[in-house]
Amino acid sequence: MMAKIEFGIRVQGVILVAFIQSNKGSPLPGLSLSLGYSVTYLSLIVLIPLSACFIKAGSLSPTEFWTIVWSERTRAAYSLTFTTAFLAALINAAIGFLVAWVLVRYEFPFKRFVDAMIDLPLALPTAVAGLVYSSLYVESGWLGQFLVPLGINAAYTKFAIVWVLVFTGFPFVVRTVQPVLEEIEPEVEEAASILGASRLQVFTRILLPTVFPAILSGFAQAFARGLGEYGSVIFVSSNIPYKTELAPVLIVTRLEEMAFPEATAIATVLLAASFGILAFINTIEIWSKRFGK
């Protein structure tokens, strides 16, 4: 195992050297130093832990690997993880855009306070969020006592998972859309309305397409956050296998059973799928930015 990791570092080192040499002509000084630092840190923080995960999963034979990652229970967990994260990111894209819009376009009392509050979901331990959400929405909770009789059960269900993921991923869309909205010159909107566009047309044909890449980028971040979320969902979900068990929860369950290769195998699939989806979203984002700055 150690030997494998060492080999991994050596390979990266070789790639690094080749990369630096190919950029020798750059007029900006300090390339080799700054790139060296970047790659070293990236290796220590992201690449080595992730490759360790892959290597651990590599101790399984292909058939073992397949039976673990493609069992009915794991498939149910993947599907739940991806759909809830996707839905939550979608809701966040809409709400986040609205909040960013309000923060940029209107002046109101305590605006700075509200602005600061946006980032709270990132600072709060997500387990606390999960606990608070579940206690609020259970039948005896503050909100649950009104909602449950209406048939809205927001604790220990899929709905609850989506709801708490909306909370944890909330800041991303706001923070990516806000600067882009601020950047739009009022002249552009004036130009559109002088050309005969109604307020709605200005919004749908000018503003929305301009901020779309930012919304997408915020969406991708919220989505990625949702995929890996564990702390909050463990409390709001009832964690019933096949029904409300998420992939990260399943991984921890396997770890508790001391089944490390199984846990890493599921993590590997989750990781690969996440990487693929994020790469896809980034591609759309690049495409939607084709008009340049």
Partner 1 sequence: MSISVKNVSKKFGQFTALDKVSLNIPDGDLVALLGPSGSGKTTLLRIIAGLENPDEGSVLHRDEEVTSKSAKDRNVGFVFQHYALFRHLTVFDNIGFGLSVRGVPKEKIASRVRELLHLIRLEGLEKRYPSQLSGGQRQRVALARALAAQPRVLLLDEPFGALDAKVRLELREWLRRLHDEIHVTSIFVTHDQEEAFAVADTVVVMRNGKIEQIGTPADVFENPANAFVMDFLGQVNVFQGIIADGLPKITGFSSSKGPPEKDFCSNTIYVRPYELEIEIMPSASDSLPAKVLHVNPAGPVVRIHLQDLESTSRVFVEVNFAKFKELGISTGQKVFIQPKRVRIFAPDYMI
Contact of 164 with 233, CB cutoff 8 Å: yes
Closest to partner 1 by CB, 24 vs 290, is 290
* Token pair in block for residue 273: 């799928």
Figure out which of the listed residues 46, 191, 272, 279 binds partner 1, where binding follows CB under 8 A: 191
- Site membership for partner 1, residue 291 (CB under 8 A): yes
Figure out which of the listed residues 72, 107, 187, 256 binds partner 1, where binding follows CB under 8 A: 187
Contact of 213 with 289, CB cutoff 8 Å: yes
Closest to partner 1 by CB, 107 vs 185, is 185
Q: Of 2-10, 52-60, 181-189, 239-247, which part binds partner 1 (CB under 8 A)? A: 181-189
CB of 5 to partner 1, least distance (A): 45
Taking the C-alpha atoms of residue 138 and residue 150, their distance in angstroms, rounded to an integer, is 13
* Token pair in block for residue 253: 């369950």
- Site membership for partner 1, residue 193 (CB under 8 A): yes
Q: Of 140-148, 205-213, 221-229, 256-264, which part binds partner 1 (CB under 8 A)? A: 205-213
CB of 192 to partner 1, least distance (A): 7
Alpha helices in 43-185 (DSSP H): 48-57, 62-69, 72-105, 111-117, 120-123, 126-137, 144-147, 158-183
Total site size for partner 1, rule CB under 8 A: 21
Figure out which of the listed residues 49, 125, 209, 276 binds partner 1, where binding follows CB under 8 A: 209
Nearest to 161, CA basis, from 77, 216, 81, 223: 81
- Site membership for partner 1, residue 201 (CB under 8 A): yes
Q: How far is CA 12 from the centre of its chain?
A: 27
Contacts 24+ apart (CB under 8 A), 75-80: 76/241, 76/242, 76/243, 76/245, 77/245, 77/246, 77/247, 77/249, 77/250, 77/266, 78/247, 78/269, 78/270, 78/273, 80/158, 80/161, 80/244, 80/245, 80/246, 80/247
CB of 176 to partner 1, least distance (A): 17
CB of 106 to partner 1, least distance (A): 20
Figure out which of the listed residues 90, 136, 197, 255 binds partner 1, where binding follows CB under 8 A: 197
Rounded to a whole number of angstroms, the CA Rg of the chain reads: 23
- Site membership for partner 1, residue 194 (CB under 8 A): yes
* Token pair in block for residue 107: 């002046």
CB of 203 to partner 1, least distance (A): 12
Q: Which residues sit at the interface with partner 1, rule CB under 8 A?
A: 185, 187-188, 190-198, 201, 205-206, 209-210, 290-293
